[in-house]
Structure 1
Amino acid sequence: MDATYIKKKIEQFKTTINNQLHHSTLLKYIDDPILNDEQLFYLLLPLFNGEQWDEDLNISAVTVAMVHASLNEHEKIDEYHATSKEQQLTVLSGDYYSGRYYQALANTGNVLLIREMSKGIATRCEQQIKVYEKNKLTIQDWFDYIVSIETELINKFYSIYEFDKYYTIMTNGLVLQRLQRELLNYQNGQTSTFIKMIQSCLDSSDSFDKVIGQKVNKLKDQTNEFLQTSTLNDELKLYIKNQLALVQK
């Protein structure tokens, strides 16, 4: 198993998800559902590492990805232009995807999956609501926010199927990649809610790239150390190191 195989498997997985979410009218006006390749990789990580993976597991993984697609669609809504046709269709697409994943959850008959996904969605949404609250958040609060947004649903999936041993590498990997993207956006003069919020928390002696850069370096060191003793197969370790731009040790 090499990087080509992993990427091919992720693309096949995306096709399965898109087939579940397909709606011809929506696709005339808005883009395909947002499916994060990094999240899909870690969702499939147990499979790549040789864990037993049956149809029940695969259906559950597809459902988790559908939940992500729905939540990602709602994040695209612009609060200042929410009455435009495109924005209205974005709202509808998010609601449609929500209906599809609830249908998929119900079809599994897996009560534990339904319960834990509901908890994960609630926790993730609670974190997003904090953006609109008046209480000022600390930098650590914003890091916790990123952890929840990126990992909450996959963590629930891991917990249900007793894949907890993958939690650390999944969390480090997804948070590290998110912070690297935010740092690159900042360096390229772009902005985001996360960048704005971190900047609002900074002391005069700090800067966004300094604070996030330090966090990125710390996560890289922690991830390198984890991989040295990890039971992941060597091909996966190499793939993760390349994806995270880790220094080979």
Structure 2
Amino acid sequence: MTAIDKAPLRKAACVVAVALLAGCTSSQTTSSITKDDVKANVAPIADMPRKQVYSYTPADRECLKRAMYFESKRSSKDGFMAVGSVVMNRLTSGAYPDTICGVVSQEKQFAPGLMTRKMNEETAPELNGAADAILRGERNPEVKEAMFFHQAGLKFPYDNMHYVTVAGGNAFYEKRDEDGELQTPAPKPADEYILAFAPHLASPGLMAVNDMSAPATAAVTQADEEEELVLPLEAPVPAQRPRPAAISTAQLVMAPPEVWSLRTGK
């Protein structure tokens, strides 16, 4: 009888002991978590990498098309994409103008008359698709970090011309020193920046599209912009309005081929 009477008391004692043990364990676990531990496991928003935004207008798209059209033999999309990749490499390197039109119209760099000559897009059915692809972030992967090219087959006596590919009748190259290091600021990879379509921005000093009767200093009209607004990309517009490219009449006058730094590497 005595052993049976003590059984309920033993069970009650075990229940109390388990409850006390659980309370101690819970208290120790909670008290061991400090504010420093929480901060260490949460990355501050300010430390997250931010992508640089480059805005482009309908006029910038036209400038890109002109570079791709006049600097290639218009034989393939691959050639268009190669020239477009060079333009974007220059844009993001920090060593050239900060707009597409600024890069393309820079004096003594691209083909003479590139900004004023009339294009016949019927001879380049893949031109628009290639320009749109570049603005979506696609690149010719073989171009790599090249920011220079010349007509394929030509030879120059410079040791810093590191050739990467041939496309569209052009040979593309990077400038590298004897140790293989780039001699120019490295361009940003396409996935490290954003191209934002900003139709509200103006690009003064550009000639109207294929309008040979207009003066070289005429601004693109509103009608021209609306007609060329054919690329509805879903890209964010930057919070800060970037500076529009200021292109003077002198910049639209290109030098003869023998002094093009783009084509000679010097």
TM-score (norm 2): 0.21
Relative contact order: is structure 1 or structure 2 higher (C-alpha 8 Å, sep ≥ 6)?
A: 2
